[in-house]
Structure 1
Amino acid sequence: MTGRPTLRRNARLGALAAVSAGAVALVKDLGRPERFLHMLRTFKVTSPMSVGSWILSAFSAGAGVAAVAEIDRMTGSRLPLGPLRKVLQAVEGPAGVEAAVFAGPLAAYTAVLLGDTATPTWNAAHEELPFVFVSSACLASAGLAMVTTPVRETGPARKLAVLGVLGDVAAMKVMEYRMDPIAAEPLHQGKAGAMLKWSERLAVAGGLGTLLGGRNRVVAAASGVALLAASALTRFGVFEAGLASARDPRYTIEPQKNRLAARRAAGVTDDAITTGS
């Protein structure tokens, strides 16, 4: 819409590559490819996995159509499309808009999946974790654009990068503040703690590089790499923190005791939680 064909092309191809890798990972987790198709036989709004499968499919359809249109242009219209080429050219714009509509939910739904489990750290973070993951997705998409696209076209990506850094750092701080202190411990310890510490450092460094030197090609590319790394470390750091919390019963028992004490302090003494019956 703003006349940035290289940015558009790189974003579309990047989206197709990323969602394809995600789909492969999902099928691998499910064990057999046909299980993914079985999940599309129904739509269950109370199931994050069901809703997420439909979100992934909807985004993939739009991103795929838009990316194929770009590939056809890159090859000089040599794809064997025949009369479908005119149809593709007519629908690529709406397909890109459709993919954009589902981009935010796609970035958030994996956080909802984690928060919907009984894993202590993930569950304790369930309200803020989607904001962390969406901000992380902003870092990744903006970073990729800055690495692959000439700076004359990366204006929107630079803005998205700065917003993503602010959102990522703020959402993580708010999430940790609102979590039970015991449940938040794995976010600061061991492998997960190291990942998340470096994620914050790289996000801030990438954001500052974008803000202060984003119009320089070398600085923009280096900042983009930092943002991509920060995004990946955020996701894997949160993942590792959840696994660590599941291995130690303390992270389940002590937050339960804290919640019980808080209910009793608030005067709630007549329910099954406080009476144990």
Structure 2
Amino acid sequence: MTGSDVTRDGMEGAHPGRDALTGASTGRRRRRRGRGEQAMVPDAEFSSYYGKPILNKPTWRPLDIAGYLYLGGLAGASSLLAAGGQVTGRPGLARVAKLGAAGAISMSLAALVHDLGRPARFLNMLRIFKPTSPMNLGSWLLASYAPLTVAAAAADVAGRHRIVGAAATAGAAALGPAVATYTAVLLADTAVPSWHEGHREMPFVFAGSGATAAAGLALACAPFRQTGPARRLAVLGAGLELGAFQLMKRRMGLAAEPYEKGKPHWQLRSAEVLTAGGAVLATYAGRPGHTGGRARLLAASAGAALLAGSAALRFGVFHAGVASAEDPKYTVVPQRERLTSRARSDGD
């Protein structure tokens, strides 16, 4: 090109609308849209907002927080199973469930405090009562529930103060469903896409997961003849967990994608196989004719599968949420879709 090629109307013989190069610096071209039309900019990539991430990914330690989620569900559902065993005259089942609830909630609190760094940070959350804060309500819930489980287990093991123990068992059972599910509300209350978009179904997923974990512990440790309620709880919990999780993923749209990729995918796939297999084994163990060592082996295998499946689900949900926070498209694309839908509704 020389200076004589340039006129008042641009380059001589050039057609800007047709001959302009696109993406020269990036090397990317788009397909033609209509007759002779080419995109003038490269495809947008959702990577940052002025050089910074759109969301700060959760900095929680996976072992601490995913373990906290898992153990809380195990504890809450075990308290319900303990009350059921006590009412129906199954002392062996009740004792295992009481000890399981007390041990699980104690380890859950230990994991939470370890992630927070020091116990004072947990205690500081009890300085106020804020009904609009899931974190604050959860702290008060744990502070009320944990002593009840310890009192119920201690009274059972000591064989004394039975009235106090029965009252503590009933109190723990009343709080148990909230303990098993409030962590789902806690996750959904964040801006993390793959947690927030599942706010309708995630409490049911966690309820089912907690039920299978509690049933698994009872099947593995309680006398086999007293595990009838645990076997039924295993089937009910597995159906609720698997069904609610599939429904959640269908309703989440793009935010469900992290559940189907990488580490979360194989963890959640393992959870499905273990939970379904554990429920089948629990049912099979209860069939007439299965007694003695064979029944005990089937029940223990079912219990181990259910415990592992519940843990795999919590870890998979945790890692999927972290992955969705790291990729801006899970925040930007659904937001744009909502804005477009709202604009159309307003225009109509």
Letter in 1 for 2:170: V
Q: Hey, what's the Cα distance between the residues in 1 that align with 2:316 and 2:158?
A: 38
Which stretch of the first structure deviates more once superposed, 122-131 or 253-262? Answer: 253-262
Residue 65 of structure 1, aligned match among 135, 151, 170? 151
Q: Secondary structure in 2 aligned to 1:134?
A: helix
Task: Identify the structure with the greater helix proportion.
Answer: 1
Contact 2:188 2:199 in 1 (8 A): yes
Q: Which residue of 1 aligns with 2:278?
A: 206
- Looking at structure 1, the residues matched to 268 and 216 of structure 2 have their Cα atoms a distance apart, in angstroms, of 18
Q: Which residue does the alignment assign to 1:36?
A: 122
> Structure 1 residue 187 and structure 2 residue 262: aligned?
no
- Report the alpha carbon displacement of residue 119 of structure 1 after superposing the two structures with TM: 0.7
Deviations 1:60-90 (A, max 9, x none): 12111011112313xxxxxxxxxxx5xx322
- For 2:333, the aligned partner's letter is E
**Alpha-carbon distance in structure 2 between the residues aligned to 1:202 and 1:35:** 36
For these two proteins, the number of residue pairs brought into alignment is: 255
Q: Distance in 2 between matches of 1:173 and 1:262?
A: 25
Counterpart CA distance in 2 for 1:61 and 1:160 is 25
Residue-by-residue CA offset, 1:72-125 (whole Å, 9 max, x unaligned): 13xxxxxxxxxxx5xx32210010010001111011111111111111111111
CA distance in 2, matches of 1:14, 1:166: 23
Please give the root-mean-square deviation of Cα atoms over the aligned residues, in Å. 1.4
Deviations 1:167-221 (A, max 9, x none): 00111011111112x1100011100011111101111111111112245211111
SS of corresponding position for 1:268: helix
Structure 2 gap segments, 5+ residues each: 1-86
1:174 is matched with 247
Superposition misfits of 4+ residues, deviation over 4 angstroms: none
TM-score normalised by the chain length of structure 2: 0.71
Quick one: distance in 1 between partners of 2:346 and 2:273? 43
- Whole-angstrom CA distance in 1 between matches of 2:103 and 2:232: 23
2:222 to 145, 149, 166: 149
> Quick one: distance in 2 between partners of 1:115 and 1:38?
23
Q: Secondary structure at the match of 2:199?
A: coil
Contact kept in structure 1, 2:156 and 2:162, CA below 8 Å: no
Q: Does 1:222 align with 2:308?
A: no
Separation of aligned partners in 1, 2:297 and 2:193: 42
Residue 256 (str. 1) matches residue 335 (str. 2) = yes
The structure having more radius of gyration, on CA atoms, is: 2
Which one-letter code corresponds to 1:217 in the other structure? Answer: R
2:80 matches 1:2:
no
Measured after TM superposition, the shift of residue 29 of structure 1 is 2.2
Q: How does 1:33-182 map onto structure 2 within 5 Å? A: 33-73=119-159, 85=160, 88-180=161-253, 182=254
Q: Which residue of 1 aligns with 2:25?
A: none
The 1:21–1:269 alpha-carbon spacing in structure 2 relative to 1, beyond 3 Å, is farther
State the distance in 2 between where 1:268 and 1:208 align: 51
- Cα distance, 1:269 vs structure 2: 4.6
Distance in 1 between residues matched to 2:127 and 2:322, nearest whole Å: 31
Alignment partners' CA distance in 2, 1:203 and 1:189: 20
Give yes or no for contact 2:224–2:296 (8 Å, CA) kept in 1.
yes
TM-score (ref. length: structure 1): 0.89
Which one-letter code corresponds to 2:210 in the other structure?
A
Distance in 1 of aligned mates of 2:212 and 2:325: 28
Gap regions ≥5 residues in structure 1: 74-84, 271-277
Asked if 1:24 is matched to 2:80, the reply is: no
Which deviates more from structure 2 when the two are superposed, residues 210-219 or residues 99-108? 210-219
Deviations 1:7-49 (A, max 9, x none): 1111011111100001111112222212222212221110111
Q: Which residue of 1 aligns with 2:59?
A: none
| 1:40 match: secondary structure | coil
Equivalent-residue separation in structure 1 for 2:236 and 2:343 (angstroms): 41
2: distance between equivalents of 1:269 and 1:123? 28
